[in-house]
Amino acid sequence: MTIPGHQDRAAAAELETGPQPQPQPQPRMSRRAALRTAATTGVAVTALAATAGPALAAARPARAEGEDHGHNVAERAGTDPGEPIIAHLRDARTGEIDVFRGTSRVRLRDPALAALLVRKSR
Amino acid sequence: MSSHREAPEISKDPVADSTDVYAFISPDQPSTVTLIANYIPLQGPAGGPNFYEFGDDVLYEIHVDNDGDGYADITYQFRFTTKLQTPSSFLYNTGPISSLSDSTWNSKQFYSVTRCDSGGTHPLGTRLACPPCNIGPLSTPDYEAKLGRPAVHSLPRGIKVFAGQRAEEFYVDLGSIFDLADLRPLQSANVFAHALGLPNQPGVNATNHLNVHSIALQVPISQLVSHGKPTIGVWTSASRQTVSVRGDAGQHPVGSGPWKQVSRLANPLFNEVLVPLGQKDYWNTQRPAHDKQFASYVAHPELASLLPVIYPAIPPGKAPFAHLAKLVKSGKPRADLEAILLTGIPSGIIPGFTNFTGPVQADMVRLNTSIPPTPKSSPKYSTLGLIGGDVAGFPNGRRVEDDVVTIELRAIAGATYPLVAPGYKVDAVVAALTDGLTGASVKNKPLASFPYLGVPYDGYHNPS
């Protein structure tokens, strides 16, 4: 026995009101890639930290008007120079790399560095 | 159920899983508001040897919106740290724990509280002690006097805080409701139960004798409201850092990156009952200000369409939800539910009452702080809150004893639709709609003073 007359709700709703809201695409963190990159590309990541400091600071997002205070204040907190830096190579073809440090994340586009990470992680 | 294990992903991460939010004028301190966020659902009290703790790697927050835009104007952040007294012992405690600083207590947890607002961050307290879990009469004798009450800390500016284990005060017949929407007191009318010949029965409180971990704050009203706007919106969230890397053997994982919200909660049952399964995890990542995208699930709740078919006409009786079925079939949006859950109730609908915060649709517990608490001795006091004629109860905030399951069941079944459509005739069965539980279904009762949630059940006597 099934619930009588209970048809596919999404399909029924679309018929009545048009497409239902769908989840917005969320950045997918590949844990495996992050682990692999963090574990095998220490040289590359260290060099990145040494050379890209100003770029990282400049890329840190400012607090937008109307945003919650809690998260943004936490994210703007200072970083500890000794804390780990973790790089996630999102797309080797475009060189898109996320770099995580403390509570910040910056997104770089550096095909040369991406190629180096790919080579070193093999 | 209020929000226990309500979404697939968060059900696998209990320390970050929010279960209930309460916001009410403190009955014994009416110049203050008490805000409570519960986490770690369905704790069996005998859950040793590693008893329950908050996540050291989780950012817990209680948010307050005081201008109606669905964004937090004030956020209280809580961060926890666990310290082992004797790492060489496998025991949680090496003798009776007679105080919060007792050396016999091996695994202690401490926390910090920070207020974030437009003025920046304001540390309110650091190294505040949590109480241990209630283990049993040998390990945690005289629990409340020696461990529970001393864990209520006074902070600057007249604030009180508590974080630790408490008795689950939310009552619900989980086993029945999620067995094809069965309500035991009415199950002879449930099409599936009827087929099995099940008679009507009393409800069973599935959360009785279980504990939760509570974060409770008592804050002067003046520190929460903005000038001329007495209604605040409240919710909680838990966040984890974007990346976690497991280190070498024996090392703790390394967290890095921005905090990502993995759980949130305001009105009970919102994500649990209204949001469809395929969107629940996504809903948990969103902020109330963006809840317009979920408004259709409030305006056309699936449960309202199910009730008439699960409880159909069983000859010789009539269809118990005939009026609700017509309402659902009409396709009219449930403006009553949208007001209750997403905007607050505008003035002019219920005489002398409003908790409207504006047109922004946002799931928040809305508390009009200008409405005084109703004494339990008053004839106006009702755990059915607004639908019971008590404007100091849910959905005007939420008190610990409020029977939110019954209130929301009845509201979804049409009890509140006449607020927006005075000609609508509510099905007679709605007045009897219940899972058969009341506050009397909870063994460890709420306390009369902060933190109001009852003494946690100990693992020696529960289960017994």
For the segment B80-91, the average pLDDT, to the nearest whole number, is 94
**Residue B246 CB-density burial (10 A; 0-12 exposed, 13-18 middle, 19+ buried):** exposed
What tokens were used for B217? Answer: 């704050």
Q: Cβ distance B436 to B429 under 8 Å?
A: no
For an interface test with A, give the residue of B180, B226, B243 to mutate (most A CBs within 10 A): B243
For the segment A9-32, the average pLDDT, to the nearest whole number, is 39
Q: Cβ distance B19 to B265 under 8 Å?
A: yes
What pLDDT does B314 receive?
Answer: 84
Q: In angstroms, rounded to a whole number, what is the distance separating the alpha carbons of residues B341 and B335?
A: 10
DSSP designation for B94:
S
The pLDDT tens digits of the residues spanning B103-122 come to 999 999 999 999 999 999 99
What pLDDT does B431 receive?
Answer: 96
Q: How confident is the model at residue A3 (pLDDT cuts 50, 70, 90)?
A: low
Paired residues of B22 in beta bridges = B36
For the segment A35-55, the average pLDDT, to the nearest whole number, is 35
Cα diameter, chain A: 66
DSSP designation for B277:
G
The pLDDT tens digits of the residues spanning B298-318 come to 999 999 999 999 999 988 889
**Predicted-assembly ipTM surpassing the 0.85 threshold:** no
Interface of A with B (CB under 8 A): 1, 3-6, 9-10, 13, 16-17, 20-21, 23-24, 26, 29, 31, 34-35, 38, 66-71, 73-75, 83-86, 88, 98, 100-105
Residues B274, B277, B280, B281, Cα dihedral to 10°: 170
- Among B3-17, B220-234, B283-297, B398-412, name the one with the lowest average pLDDT: B3-17
Q: Is the pLDDT of residue A43 over 60?
A: no
Q: What average pLDDT is seen over chain B? A: 96
Q: Where are the alpha helices (DSSP H) in A41-94?
A: 42-51, 53-59, 69-75
The pLDDT tens digits of the residues spanning B139-196 come to 999 999 999 999 999 999 999 999 999 999 999 999 999 999 999 999 999 999 999 9
The pLDDT tens digits of the residues spanning B34-70 come to 999 999 999 999 998 999 999 999 999 999 999 999 9
**How would DSSP label each residue in B66-81?**
SSSSSS-SEEEEEEEE
For B192, the 3-state DSSP assignment is helix
For the segment B381-389, the average pLDDT, to the nearest whole number, is 97
What percentage of residues in chain B have a pLDDT greater than 70?
A: 100
For residue A57, give Cα distances in angstroms to A62, A79, B98: 10, 11, 50
What pLDDT does A20 receive?
Answer: 42
Helix (H) or strand (E) holding B256: strand B254-265
What percentage of residues in chain B have a pLDDT greater than 90?
A: 93
Nearest CA to B40 out of B13, B77, B60 is that of B13
Over the Cα atoms of chain B, what is R_g? 22
What pLDDT does A11 receive?
Answer: 42
**Contacting residues for B137 by C-beta, under 8 A, at least 6 apart:** B458, B460
The pLDDT tens digits of the residues spanning B308-353 come to 999 999 888 899 999 999 999 999 999 999 999 999 999 999 998 9
What pLDDT does B5 receive?
Answer: 85
User: b/e map of B25-57 (b: 16 or more CB within 10 Å)?
Assistant: bbbebeebbbbbbbbbbbbebbebeebbbbbeb
Q: How confident is the model at residue A5 (pLDDT cuts 50, 70, 90)?
A: low
What percentage of residues in chain A have a pLDDT greater than 90?
A: 31
Q: Taking CA atoms, what residue in B is nearest to A25?
A: B282
For residue B396, give Cα distances in angstroms to B69, B87, B230, B267: 18, 47, 12, 11
Cα-Cα-Cα-Cα dihedral sign, residues B9, B13, B14, B20? negative
Q: How confident is the model at residue A69 (pLDDT cuts 50, 70, 90)?
A: low
Q: Is the pLDDT of residue A41 over 60?
A: no
B286 touches chain A (CB under 8 A): no
Q: Is the pLDDT of residue B239 over 50?
A: yes
B290 touches chain A (CB under 8 A): no
The pLDDT tens digits of the residues spanning B413-429 come to 999 999 999 999 999 99
Paired residues of B93 in beta bridges = B105
Q: Taking CA atoms, what residue in B is nearest to A18?
A: B296
For residue B363, give Cα distances in angstroms to B148, B157, B264: 32, 29, 10
Nearest CA to B64 out of B237, B290, B234 is that of B234
Inspect the interface and report whether the beta carbons of A23 and B331 lie closer than 8 Å. no
Inspect the interface and report whether the beta carbons of B282 and A20 lie closer than 8 Å. no
